[in-house]
Amino acid sequence: MDKTTLTELYVTRRLDDTEIGARFGVPAWRVTMRRRELDVHRPPAPPPHSEPPVMPAVEDLHRWYVTEGRTLEQIAQQHHTARDTVRTWLQTAGISVQPRTSREQRKHLDPVLLRELYLDREWSATEIAADLDTTVHLVLRTLHEHGIAVRKGGPPPKRAGAPAQARLAALYDDPDVTALLHQHHIPTRPMAGAITQRFPTPTPVTRSFLTEAYIEIGLAAGHIEQLTGQPAGRVLQLLHDHGIPVRPSGAQSPWLRRQRDTR
């Protein structure tokens, strides 16, 4: 076996030593020794490229990202791919992707959402800052700029979950709310726990539901989040998308005012 023959069989045609030996009636170790003598080496093969995941149907992407409010990360994990791949899918499907933001870029907070979190849901400035990935200073500054009375500082109450659970119980005790949920086939989940535990997958909401919940009953976006699992910020965006007028910055939602007036 000369070098040209071995190069053709081993390098070009990528036969192994056993296959080459069988052609010439010699053991594989003889082929191996001969290759080493003639300095015939096969260059390493490039690593195999995994097939990219198939882009889901446009209606599925719209349902996950727009209707259910899933994040890029959640969709990426579901399909074992990267966030940027999901972003490309959404852009290809003509679905508007929320712009990337960072703590440094986030200089302005939505006062409507801030009022929902601070007044209606009674979150602390620290909790809001953590949830919005911003600073406590910016939260407090925005509260002052929009005339929202800031509560006196101090350590958080030991029963931090009690107000939220009491609010949830009041929502499910309201016959208008329970009738609305029944009418739109939204499951009732009054159990205590984080919103992601109560609603691992947010319940889709329609324009009709939002109109009745937000306008007719007077719920806040935070209340709708507690009843459907849809994030409050996403609820506000859906209200805008459906042309439902969002209440101007006010002290409380109509539903919450009624609750406090009846106490």
Domain boundaries, the chain: 3-38, 58-92, 103-154, 162-261
Burial (CB < 10 A; 0-12, 13-18, 19+), residue 229, is buried
What residue has token string 């149907």? Answer: 57
Rounded to two decimals, the pTM is 0.46
pLDDT tens per residue across all 263 residues of the chain: 788 988 888 888 888 888 888 888 888 888 888 888 888 888 765 555 556 788 999 999 988 888 777 778 788 888 888 888 888 899 898 888 866 544 444 457 778 888 877 887 777 787 777 666 577 788 888 888 888 888 765 444 444 445 567 778 889 999 999 999 999 999 998 887 777 778 888 889 999 999 999 999 999 888 898 899 888 778 888 888 888 888 765 446 788 878 766 65
- Alpha-carbon distance of 194 to 204, in angstroms, equals 19
Find the radius of gyration of the CA atoms of the chain.
30
Selection from 167, 141, 175, 263 nearest residue 224 by Cα = 167
Tokens of 169: 């119980």
